[in-house]
Amino acid sequence: MLTQIKRREADLNNAAFGSQMPVLLQRIYSARGLNQESQTRQALSDLLPPGQLKGLKQATDLLVTALQQQQKVLIVGDFDADGATSCAVALLALRAMGLHSVDFLVPNRFDYGYGLSPEIVKVAAVQRPHLIITVDNGISSIEGVAAARALGIDVLVTDHHLPGRELPDANAIVNPNQEGCDFPSKNLAGVGVIFYVMSALRARLRDIAWFDKQGLKEPNLANYLDLVALGTVADVVPLDHNNRILVRQGLQRIRAGRARPGLLALLELGGRQRERIVASDLGFAVGPRLNAAGRLDDMSLGIQCLMCDAEELAREMALELDDFNRDRKAIESSMQEEALASLGKVQAGQDGEELPWGMCLYDPAWHQGVIGILASRIKDRYHRPVIAFADAGDSEIKGSARSIKGLHIRDALDAVASSNPGLLSKFGGHAMAAGMSLDKAKFEDFKTAFDAEVRRQLHSDDLQACILSDGDLSEADMNLPMAHELREAGPWGQHFPEPVFDGEFYLMQQRIVGAKHLKMVVSPDAKGERLIDAIAFNVDLALWPNQDTGRVKLAYRLDVNEFRGRQTLQFMVEYLEAV
């Protein structure tokens, strides 16, 4: 089935942009729900104030007491990039505000699983903390919070995941998605939540003249926005106006070299020039390298890399993370080949069945830390919700889910659990990603129930891949200045996608580079008077190069290609079809 290209609708009649803004950019913004120039402003002063976050006063009460009494504080994080950046922001900010005894603990995903579990509380209790702060987790840690409170440990939960029916009995909870929270942006990543908590704490300390009394320089929390930008982009949360401001401000600091040495080292290892980075560079070059530690070993290395002030030591840690990422790629490639081979038999009818609408994949040899990436890859290929499972020991398997537009995956799991009591041990997550655990013996029952729930919620048309396009691009706008303009008009990301255009072009040249990428030269005219470089990644080598076609239909993004100091226009091809 060919990918469908749908064009976005833009209503410029009700828009109020300045006359200096190019009409093309006005059209792009309008198609993304923006209709006035104030919505495009991204100064720090445009950030939402923290006051409407529910639980903020109770949270800062706990933290002020911890500072005044110099209590021992332990940060319990998550094992992904959002968790790592959240942990780093909390540690750096609290130390800068004068807390002497603050450390972190990240559960090893293979031994303890996700969040503040009773098991990780036992490990934490050895350090005898007065206060545990969860970052990017905790909203579903009912038993873990209870275990900590029973030991006399106060708990502050900072999280952004969707709450379940019951909330943990923490001393304070800050989560924009908890019931009764009036904070306008519900899309903060975990790192965004803790950044807001630290901002509110600084304001409280300023009011009581804490910094003057302690002889401390008041910390500039904007110095941590490089980490906030990284965690926000890597966690793929929707880039609403508030998140775009956080990301934009972080990118500006990174470009200026005012970023953590470890982050800069990871950028360099990813082949990115810090002066020119955009949001997607954080998602594709830095995030995976940071995540690799949590996927294959222990996220502590990633946190230490982000925390490190010494450039040489930070680079050594970044090199270790890069090695982990190479190993992760090799493992993922092998797992993907196995999954595609199995699904290929089903697709070809060899197993006497059709592809399920909701895919559940399991292999006892698969690596638990890589199943999320596997689910994402299979979802992209077949355009349907996918859950990949791996063994977790003691007859339990853990799954990582990725969804498509139209299916809220956490709600779908909730529906499956409600209709089949006892089928799922636990689950949690977002609209597009989730995690779960169940008994291995119940896998086939869950597989059937999940597919049925997906069929109940989706229509067959939802299973066709669709690219949303910003329409045809005039030849006058196919130029390097416009590519630069669009590059700087973001940051682009989840729910605020980078502009994609579509059109038909004459195919003047085509060749494979890098084993599976198609390098092309295309032209909008038959004579080839205007030649434009284009590249399509990971093409089907059975179809391309195609010497029988002279025209192609493309969905593409404008990009700035830099080679040996020379910049040229390039199309980044999202979809390719022979005409």
List, as one string, the DSSP characters of 101-123: SEEEE---TTTT-SSS-HHHHHH
Q: What is the DSSP-derived secondary structure letter of residue 16?
A: B
Topology (CATH) of 50-321 = inorganic pyrophosphatase (n-terminal core) (3.90.1640)
Q: Spell out the alpha helix ranges (H) of 127-167.
A: 142-150
Q: Could you tell me which of 186, 74, 187, 77 has the C-alpha nearest to residue 131?
A: 74
Average pLDDT, the chain: 93
Whole-number pLDDT of residue 346: 61
Domain 355-463 has CATH 3.10.310.30: yes
Q: Which residues of 544-564 are buried (b: 16+ CB within 10 A; e: fewer)?
A: bbeeeeeebebbbbbbeeeee
Q: What is the DSSP-derived secondary structure letter of residue 44?
A: G
Helix (H, G, I), strand (E, B) or coil at 401: strand
Q: Could you tell me which of 440, 126, 87, 118 has the C-alpha nearest to residue 294?
A: 87
What pLDDT, in 10s, does the model give residues 422-471?
Answer: 999 988 877 888 899 999 999 999 999 999 999 999 999 999 999 999 99
Q: Which residues of the chain have pLDDT under 70?
A: 1-2, 109-111, 113, 345-353
* Residue 328 near residue 297, CB atoms below 8 Å: no
3-state secondary structure 158-184: ECCCCCCCCCCCCCEEECCCCCCCCCC
Which residue ranges make up each domain of the chain? 50-321, 355-463, 467-578
* Side-chain half-sphere CA neighbours of 217 within 13 A: 3
Whole-number pLDDT of residue 11: 87
**For 467-578, CATH number?**
2.40.50.460
Whole-number pLDDT of residue 350: 45
Neighbours of 321 (CB within 10 A): 23
Whole-number pLDDT of residue 426: 86
Residue 261: cis peptide before it, omega within 30 degrees of 0: no
Whole-number pLDDT of residue 18: 84
User: Is the dihedral angle over the CA atoms 369, 312, 259, 133 positive or is it negative?
Assistant: positive
Q: What is the DSSP-derived secondary structure letter of residue 186?
A: -
Whole-number pLDDT of residue 296: 81
Residue 545: cis peptide before it, omega within 30 degrees of 0: yes
